């Protein structure tokens, strides 16, 4: 489907008559001179929104790909005997020798 047909499917119009009635109401409300200005303003707003959205997506992709420069936390070396829990090792380190 094209973008135009996607938009029409989204609006879910039942017939071409409904579209014609809506266009006639818009023409009556805004007049023929004002419609091109409204269309330009709408297009400009959509273009700005699309550009900003693309910038946000690029920024998110950029932050996902870059490696972090922060050093990893290093664990303290284990006891040479290999036994004991972390709590007992911590208590042994706190005791004066």
26-57 pLDDT, tens digit per residue, is: 889 888 888 889 889 999 999 999 999 999 99
Alpha-carbon distance 36 to 34, whole Å?
6
Q: How far apart are CA 12 and CA 49, in angstroms?
A: 24
Cα dist. 79→84, 88, 90 in Å? Answer: 8, 10, 11
Is 3 within the bounds of a domain? no
- Looking at residue 8, what DSSP letter applies? H
Residue 45 maps to a domain:
yes
- For residue 39, give Cα distances in angstroms to 22, 30, 46, 49: 15, 11, 10, 15
Q: Is residue 14 pLDDT above 90, yes or no?
A: no
* 39 located within any domain: yes
37-42 long-range contacts (CB < 8 A, ≥24 apart) are none
Evaluate whether residue 95 is within a structural domain.
no
Structural domain contains residue 87: no
User: Would you say residue 38 lies in a domain?
Assistant: yes
Tally the domains of the chain. Answer: 1
| 15 inside domain | no
Q: Is the pLDDT of residue 68 over 70?
A: no
Flag the least confident range among 15-19, 36-40, 90-94: 90-94
Q: Would you say residue 36 lies in a domain?
A: yes
Q: What is the mean pLDDT of residues 3-15?
A: 62
Which residue range forms the structural domain that includes residue 50? Answer: 31-64
Using the structure block, give the residue that is written with the tokens 């005791």.
95
């Amino acid at each position: 489907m094209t973008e135009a047909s996607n938009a029409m499917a989204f609006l879910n119009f039942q017939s071409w008559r409904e579209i014609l009635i809506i266009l006639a109401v818009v023409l009556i409300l805004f007049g023929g001179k004002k419609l091109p200005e409204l269309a330009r303003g709408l297009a400009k707003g959509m273009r700005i929104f699309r550009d900003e959205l693309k910038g946000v997506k690029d920024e998110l992709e950029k932050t996902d790909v870059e490696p972090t420069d922060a050093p990893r936390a290093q664990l303290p070396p284990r006891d040479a005997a290999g036994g004991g829990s972390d709590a007992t090792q911590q208590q042994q380190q706190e005791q004066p020798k």
